[in-house]
Structure 1
């Protein structure tokens, strides 16, 4: 397989994936919910770490 063939295959794959990604329904509200969930997870992890530190100190 030549480099030109590999380049054509790569270009075809990119075009195919671009069409696949464009056909997906837009979910603009999902990142907002994901950020809120991530903040909750980070806060819960921080609270657990603080409680573990206090438990070790007592």
Structure 2
């Protein structure tokens, strides 16, 4: 088999596999947003508990 034939076969394989690679969903950005919200809630809870502790 010649090198040119091997290159054509490789290119054909890449083209045929491109449909499968596009079918994967992109990573969800909601997970980082959820962690950010949980962090903000935890920080607010810590501030509220500290303020309550100082008042009593």
TM-score by length of 1: 0.50
- Is the helix fraction higher in 1 or 2? 1
How many residues are matched? 32
1:33 to 31, 34, 47: 31
Q: Which runs of 5+ in 2 are unaligned?
A: 1-24
User: Where does structure 1 lack aligned partners over 5 or more consecutive residues?
Assistant: 1-25
Quick check: which has more Rg, 1 or 2? Answer: 2
Segments of 4+ moved more than 4 angstroms: none
Question: Alpha carbon RMSD of aligned pairs, Å?
Answer: 1.6
